Amino acid sequence: MEGHPGLARSRDSVAQCPQGEAQEAPSTLKALIFDVDGTLADTEEAHRCAFNEAFQQLGLPWNWSKPKYAHLLPAAGVPTLMGRIEAIHRAKTLNYTRMVLAGEVPLRDGVERLIDDAARSHVRLCIATTTTFANVEALLRTGLGPKALDRFAVVGAGGNAARKKPAADIYEYVLRQLDASPQECVAIEDSANGLRAAKAAGLYTIVTPSFWTRTEDFSDADLVLPSLGSALRPLMPGAAALVGNTMLGIREICRRLDALRECG
């Protein structure tokens, strides 16, 4: 089930404003920077199954249960696995890509709507992830169409960062490519490691936890929501009250940035 209503929380109080049609964003917001795994789509179950299939293909006596995989995730990666890491990851990536291309990993509620809203509002779209570019491409093309990559001004993936999250490397790379300051961008994440990376880069950060990350510490997030909200699955009253709408859009994000600027 999408979302965890009890997780809705904000670090600040923003006055409610009238709702309306999407409009051009204020100059304070130049770009949205999305994480991928768990944020654009709840990919972790597919990753887990892809790993288990790779283990079987390589004749390895391992099978990761959901609790075991959830335990591994906060470490920001998979252990060395007795020196077989490269072969395992090659097989796993092929398995995962096949699952994504088969439509087994849908985008989370509200993701496509917010991406469309950003385009209408002239806000640039970016990716900041330490997963492989192949994984990103497969997910975007399947979820958003064959020209999905063209919609993103910058796609920062695993090959663009020396260190994984929670290091800020991948966000710093994206900001350099954008030639933008952190104050002009907003990050959307789902995990504590992602939150730490985004905040280390100086970004206003919205967190939409997934099943796999819902128990993590998001106390440093600027806004925590169970999802972005959609027409079919709107935000519950508590979360909706935080953003002034049943769905988080560019208008709502800009209100929060403007309020933060006024308070600062």
d(CA 8, CA 75): 25
Which of 108, 106, 122 has the alpha carbon at shortest distance from 230? 108
In the 8-state DSSP scheme, what is residue 41?
Answer: B
Report the alpha-carbon distance of residue 173 to residue 129 in Å, rounded: 11
Q: Which residues contact 67 (CB under 8 A, 6 or more apart)?
A: none
How many CB atoms are located within 10 Å of the residue 173 CB? 18
37 is catalytic: yes
Length of the chain: 264
b vs e for 148-163, b when ≥16 Cβ sit within 10 Å of the residue's Cβ? beeebbbbbbeebbee
CB of 246 within 8 A of CB of 240?
Answer: yes
DSSP β-ladder status, 154-156 and 124-128: parallel
* 35 has catalytic annotation: yes
Which residue in the list 12, 35, 42, 217 is annotated as catalytic? 35
Which residue out of 12, 37, 117, 169 is catalytically annotated? 37
Residues labelled as active-site residues? 35, 37
